[in-house]
Amino acid sequence: MTLPDWARWGSAATPRDLTLGVEEEIMLLDPDGWSLAQEIDRVLPALDQDLGAHVTAETHKSALELRSGVHADVSGATVELTVLRAALEAHLVELGLRAAASGTHPFAVWQDTRVSTGPRYQRVYNQMRELARREPTFALHVHVGVSDPDAAIDLLNRMRGHLPMLLALSANSPMWQGRDTGLASARTPLFQAFPRVGVPRAFRGYRDWTDAVDMLLRCEALEEPTFLWWDVRPQPRFGTVEVRILDVQSTVSETAALVALVQSVARLELEDGYLPDEVLDRPELLEENRFIAARDGMDARLLDPVSERMVPARLQLDNLIRACRPHARALGCEDDLLAVRNLADSTGAMRQLELARGDAALPGVVGAMAELFCSDVPAGAQVRAVDEAVLVS
C-alpha cells in the first residue's frame, strides 16, 4: 500500500543519521516593567532577510521561534544559535524591546495574551477556543536526523523512556501568574491543556504510525500532522525525530548541553538499545515519571521497574552519561555532554527561584533572564550580521 504524500520520509531534504536541528521558542519583552510584549507583528517585518529566514511566529503574539539550520554536530548548532540570538537581540533593541528564554513568563496573565493573526494560529484558536489564550509557554525542540523511517519509529519508541529525565534537566518554569507553583516545570501541565500532547504510545513501525495519523487526518481531527504536539514525534518532511518535551533554556550553553544529550542518547539507543523493555512497555510508569520530573526537576526520585523502587534522578543521570560518553566522543560532543552535570546541579528553575527568593522581585527575575539571553555571545558579536556565521538552511 502506497504511503500518503505527507508521509514521504525526508521528501523536503535528504536526511542523514544523527544530524541536528534546533528550535527555541523565545519571549518578547517590554523592558519597561519586563512584561510580555504582544509585538510579533511589528518584529517580523523589521528583521533583515538573513535573520528572518530563521524566525517564525508562534501561537501567541508575545513569542517567536528561532530555527537553526541542519548541523552535523552540536558545536555547529551552538555557533549558529549564538549568532541568531545576538542578531535578534540587536534588532529588538532597535525596536525598544528585549528577549528572554524561559518555559513560562513568571507573572503573565491570560487576560493580556493575544493570539497571532496567521492562518495556522487562528485555526489553533478555532480548535482550542479560549485554551489558546492561556499564558504562552516556551519550549526547546531538538530534531535528530534518521534516514530510515522504521528506524525513526524505533528511536521514537525508545526515546519515550528518556523523556522524564530530559524534562527534569530542562525544567525552567517554576513560576506562573506571579507565584511559585511548587513545580520545576509549570510549562508541562499548562501545555497539557491542549489535546494530542504528552507521551505517545509505542508504534510497531512506520506503517503503524502513518495509519494512526492518517485516520485522524481523514476524520478531520487534524489539518496536518504537525498538529500532533506529542513530547516526541516523527517529522517526515525533515526525516527527523523531534524531541519536544524540553523547557527552553535561558543560555545557549545550557541548550548545547541538552542537545548533546539528545544526540548521544539517540546514537546510544539506535546502536545499543539501552533501555530495557520493563521501562518502555509501561506507559503508566512513563506518565508518572513525567509528572514527577515536572514537579521535582532534578530533585526527583523516578520510578524504576527493574529494581521496583524509586531512584534519584541524579543517580540515573550518572548512569546515562556513563553509557553515552563513547557515543558523545564519536559525535564530537563529549564536553557538551559532560556539561549536563553542571545543568543538573543548577537548572533554570533553581536559578529563577533563587533570584525570586533573594532581593529580586519578579520583574527583576525576568530582567535577569533577559541579560542571560546573549550572555554566551563574545564581546562585540552582537553587532555582527548573521551572514558572517555559517548558516545551513
d(CA 165, CA 289): 9
At 272, give phi and psi (nearest 5°): -115, -20
Identify the residue whose cell numbers are 518578547: 28
Q: Is the pLDDT of residue 69 over 80?
A: yes
Question: For residue 386, is pLDDT > 50?
Answer: no
pLDDT at 277 over 50: yes
Given a cut of 90, is residue 358 above it in pLDDT?
no
pLDDT bin (cut points 50, 70, 90) of residue 125 is low
The answer to whether residue 128 scores a pLDDT higher than 60 is no
CB 160 within 8 A of CB 199: yes
**Cβ density class 10-25: b for 16+ within 10 Å, e for less:** beeeebeebbbbbbbb
Identify the CATH number of the domain defined by range 5-387: 3.30.590.20
| Residue 201 confidence (pLDDT) | 96
388 pLDDT band, cuts 50/70/90, is very low
Domain boundaries, the chain: 5-387
- pLDDT tens track for 362-385: 999 999 999 999 998 765 544 343
Higher pLDDT, 126 or 174: 174
In residues, how long is the chain? 393
Q: To which residue does cell 541568531 refer?
A: 84
What 29-34 contacts at long range (C-beta under 8 Å, 24+ apart), as own/partner pairs, is 29/97, 29/98, 29/99, 29/100, 29/366, 29/370, 30/96, 30/97, 30/98, 31/96, 31/97, 31/98, 31/367, 31/370, 33/363, 34/363, 34/364, 34/366, 34/367, 34/370
